[in-house]
Chain A
Amino acid sequence: MEALAPYAEFGRVGFVNILAFRLRYFTGIITYSLNVTVYYFVWSAVYRSGQSFVGYNLSQMITYVSVGWIIRSFYWNTIDQEMAYEVIEGKIAMDLIKPVSVQWMWLCRAMGESAFRLGLLTLPTALVVGFAFPIQRPASREHFLLFLVGVLGSFFLMGAINFMIGTCAVPLKSILALIRAKQWLIELLSGLLIPMAFFPEKIQRVVAWLPFEHIAYTPLQIYLGKLDVAHALRALAIQWCWIVALLILAHVWWSRCLRSMTIQGG
């Protein structure tokens, strides 16, 4: 347990650090609520032509999109951008002189931030959205608990992916384009914009072999009760296998890139 103490401290620093930028979160609540509003009107318009699409009725669709954005406000992080900045500024050297795993240092910092966002962004957004739109309750208490496990998983998936993208800054230096591309790819393939069920069959089959749909689609399916408890457990098992695999892959990738490290400026 003692060995974990420094990492808990990184989490605390992430938390304290973000306190300095409190104001950003009030605008964040508005931004997220606006996103939900836009999708509410889009889907309301779409559903005027029919009662149900691939098994989703309007109420489920609104819930899917709203809960999707609410959880995104929690699992989202900007490890990749911060790492790219540290590499370009040469600050990464200061991380390397500390006796800690750089990967877990970033993940814990992001965890501290996510804990902060949970209180200052996710819950307020949930309240605002919950009052403004007709959102369904979770399918059952079991489903809700499994959903929470899934959302925690989303955080780790996002963290592992962002750490890998951030590591690309070591050999490439400028990764702005890469970060943009990742952002679009994940919004699309995670199921944040539309449920995977709306994709053509063939694409669905390919995407099922990728980790991305476990970021948003899997927890949301559980929330809506589209998976029974047994299937939900199976989906979560796959999600957590992906987490372990990606964390290992990220570690290997980081160690590889470290060999070709150069420190910019001085």
Chain B
Amino acid sequence: MSADPLIHVKDLSKHFRAFDRREGIWGSIQNLFVRDYHTVAAVDRIGFTIDRGEMVGYIGPNGAGKSTTIKMLTGILVPTSGEILINGFVPFRQRRQYVKTIGVVFGQRTQLWWDIAVIESFKLLRRIYDVSQRDFDERMERFNEILGIRDYLRTPVRKLSLGERMRCDLAAALLHNPPLLFLDEPTIGLDVVAKEHIRHFLRAVNREFRTTVLLTTHDLDDIEELCHRLMIIDHGRVLYDGPLDQLKERLLRTKQIKCVLKDRAQVAGISVFSRDGLVLDQVDPLTYRIRFDRTKVATTDLIRKILAAVEVRDLLIEDESIEEVVKRIYAGEATFEVSL
């Protein structure tokens, strides 16, 4: 890691007070006068650094503290304790100067004005961020090339579909060419085509402008297609921080081999592959699936054995999906120390 990271977070915590409401009529009357509350640590002493030009995925189950972290990083929420230093700014203290240097997209909301045409919102943002007319025209042209937003620039935001709105929001967040972009669930609720559009755009922005991107998502395809680095958070703590490949390396346990047999005569031969830690399922009359723990069985050995035992028409080796891995992490089945 370089000596001068763009984002520097240390021991960051955010506690909320949650009221314990009493139940029933008598309870609600008591609630009026006495309120009990307990403290919830939405984010609990997390720390990380992000370098210029990185694209980092930030994932975790609902309520893990992802959004709270993003809101502290964007200067909206004030941390309970800990340090944030981004681009030389302390976000909540120097909010007005700081937010000029970032772009923010919240998938669930829009920063555009609901009742006015999209282009009017863009013009307003141009003024707010003090972007010159020339830069504005240039960027709009480029955004339009990748996102194809020209057709609905004259439409009020409330009449746009979710996919159209999200494209406009992305363009809006990048109008002032910030070095840092925060995305909170940018692909939520979008169809496959719209998702692909957005990912393509983010890759282009990261490549062309060296924009640093931090995104939260529930769609692991976003991570696989965009981010080399992944952070997993749950119960306010960072569970994993490192390259996606390394996560797979360490946690992908199950592999499977799908064999399509040449003819029915081979069925007897394949049946021996249900012992010694191998699990055999029949998918259809000639297709079988053998699952195994790759830490216990060497894949190459197994393939050699299969080829020696039966005649196959096709052989397919698959990893466990990243979804499965993450599911295990959330469920607490897979544990590992935080790598930094």
Contacts and interface: CB of A to CB of B under 8 A. Distances in A.
A13 B109 contact: no
A94 B116 contact: no
Contacts, number: 77
A265 B76 contact: no
A99 B75 CA distance: 11
Interface string B92-119: 0001110110101010111101011000
Contact of A9 (B108, B109, B115, B127): B127
Nearest to A21: B115
B16 interface: yes
Contacts of B100: 99
A93 B71 contact: yes
B131 to A, nearest CB: 11
Contacts of A261: 76-78
Contact of B129 (A16, A94, A99): A99
Contacts of B71: 93, 263
B99 A94 contact: no
Interface in A74-109: 90-91, 93-94, 96-101
A12 B96 CA distance: 21
A55 interface: no
B74 interface: yes
Contacts of A10: 124
Contacts of B75: 96-97
Nearest to A91: B109
A12 B126 CA distance: 14
A94 B78 contact: no
A110 B6 CA distance: 38
B34 interface: no
A50 interface: no
A6 B113 CA distance: 14
A100 B110 CA distance: 17
A101 B115 contact: no
B263 interface: no
Interface of B: 16, 67, 71, 74-78, 95-97, 99-100, 102, 104, 106, 108-111, 113, 115-116, 120, 123-124, 127-130, 184-185
Q: Please name the 9 residue pairs, one residue from A and one from B, whose CB atoms are nearest each other, closest first.
A: A6-B128, A99-B100, A266-B108, A9-B127, A94-B111, A96-B76, A97-B104, A9-B124, A20-B115
30 contacts: A2-B130, A5-B127, A6-B124, A6-B128, A8-B127, A9-B124, A10-B124, A12-B124, A13-B120, A13-B124, A16-B120, A17-B115, A20-B115, A91-B109, A93-B76, A94-B111, A96-B74, A96-B75, A97-B75, A97-B99, A97-B111, A98-B111, A99-B96, A100-B128, A261-B77, A263-B71, A263-B76, A266-B106, A266-B184, A266-B185
